């Protein structure tokens, strides 16, 4: 039976490294597949393939694209196509660092590391602004329904489409706001996480209220704070059974529909976005049959 990589449905870990790769040697690419099948366990390492990887193998993953197109967006939404994305998850930062080295050596010469980002859990799952993140995530069966393809018996069953968006916070701007203005920007009260009925239409949770879309736009968010030197922010990650819900939310955040830009942009900006497809697991192994690799 095809099931999701378990790390997608689990709580976020204490530490993580997000590492992305680009193709360096097309002729060596197919040789990477058995390594992914053997070493991606879906728990300590969640893997996602970009369209460039799939296309280079002349394979096809229905629904996978290189990115979004939001005509009329009032904000800049940079995107970067990547070949492979690994979300290394764990409790010990040193172990993750060493695991990243092993992966990068293993994937050479086919793939070369493009970016590595260190992430961590803050408090009880908070963004660095102090707001609890993930409150309105669907749970249990609803989480699986939102995050994974459910159609029975296709090679896509149990897989997820992941939108990854790195946001860079401008802490000085956030700190210059009153705490009431901060709560109104998010649409929730930081001290007790209560949703504010009187928040403006630009409030983040008003822009993204999942049941307010037609069709409803539920995703499973597994975002984590990141830092590098004195830069920091949120690594936003949304898993869906397609990219549709994420794109609907981002479109509304961007002001493309009604000219109202999400208040988050007052103090944070996305610096890059990637789209990847996270294959399902079958008998404890990554199922890469869509790419032409049979189970070992």
Q: Counting contacts by CB under 6 A, is residue 108 touching ligand HEM?
A: no
- The stretch among 64-72, 103-111, 133-141, 148-156 that binds ligand HEM (CB under 6 A) is 133-141
**Which lies closer to ligand HEM via its Cβ, residue 56 or residue 205?**
205
**Which lies closer to ligand HEM via its Cβ, residue 53 or residue 265?**
265
DSSP states along 188-208: B-TTT--B-TT--TTSHHHHH
**Number of other residues whose CB lies within 10 A of the CB of residue 41:** 16
The CA distance from 64 to 290, in Å, is 12
- Write out the binding residues for ligand HEM, residues 169-198 only, by CB under 6 A: 186, 188
Whether 174 contacts 265, CB under 8 Å: no
**Which lies closer to ligand HEM via its Cβ, residue 204 or residue 241?**
204
Distance of alpha carbon 173 from its chain centroid, rounded?
25
The CA distance from 230 to 11, in Å, is 27
Return the residue nearest ligand HEM (CB atom).
Answer: 136
Instruction: Tell me which of 20, 249, 274, 276 binds ligand HEM, using CB under 6 A.
Output: 249
The CA distance from 76 to 225, in Å, is 21
**Number of other residues whose CB lies within 10 A of the CB of residue 176:** 11
- Write out the binding residues for ligand HEM, residues 15-44 only, by CB under 6 A: none
Q: Counting contacts by CB under 6 A, is residue 234 touching ligand HEM?
A: yes
Residues near ligand HEM (CB under 6 A) are 127, 129, 131-136, 165, 167, 186, 188, 204-205, 208-210, 219, 234, 236, 238, 246, 249-250, 253, 264, 268
């Amino acid at each position: 039976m095809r099931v999701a990589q378990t790390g997608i449905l689990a709580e976020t870990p204490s530490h993580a490294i997000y590492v992305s790769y680009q193709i360096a040697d097309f002729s060596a690419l197919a040789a990477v597949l058995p390594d992914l099948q053997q070493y991606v366990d879906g728990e300590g390492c969640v893997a996602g393939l970009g369209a460039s990887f799939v296309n280079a193998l002349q394979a096809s993953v229905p629904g996978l694209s290189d990115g979004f197109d939001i005509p009329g967006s009032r904000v800049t939404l940079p995107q970067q196509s990547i070949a492979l994305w690994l979300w290394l998850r764990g409790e010990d930062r040193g172990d993750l660092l060493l695991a990243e080295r092993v992966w990068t050596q293993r994937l050479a010469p086919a793939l070369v590391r493009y970016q590595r980002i260190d992430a961590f859990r803050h408090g009880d799952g908070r963004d660095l602004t102090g707001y609890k993140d993930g409150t309105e995530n669907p749970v249990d069966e609803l989480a699986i329904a939102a995050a994974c393809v459910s159609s029975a018996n296709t090679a896509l069953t149990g897989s997820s489409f992941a939108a990854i968006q790195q946001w860079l916070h401008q802490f000085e701007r956030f700190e210059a706001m009153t705490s009431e203005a901060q709560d109104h920007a998010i649409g929730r009260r930081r001290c007790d996480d209560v949703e504010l009925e009187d928040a403006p239409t630009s409030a983040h949770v008003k822009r993204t209220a999942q049941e307010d879309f037609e069709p409803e736009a539920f995703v499973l968010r597994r975002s984590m704070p990141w830092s590098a030197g004195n830069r920091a922010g949120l690594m936003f990650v949304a898993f869906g059974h397609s990219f549709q819900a994420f794109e609907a939310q981002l479109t509304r955040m961007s002001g493309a529909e009604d000219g109202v830009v999400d208040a988050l942009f007052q103090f944070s900006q996305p610096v890059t976005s990637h789209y990847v497809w996270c294959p399902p697991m079958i008998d404890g192994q990554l199922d890469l049959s869509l790419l032409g690799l049979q189970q070992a």
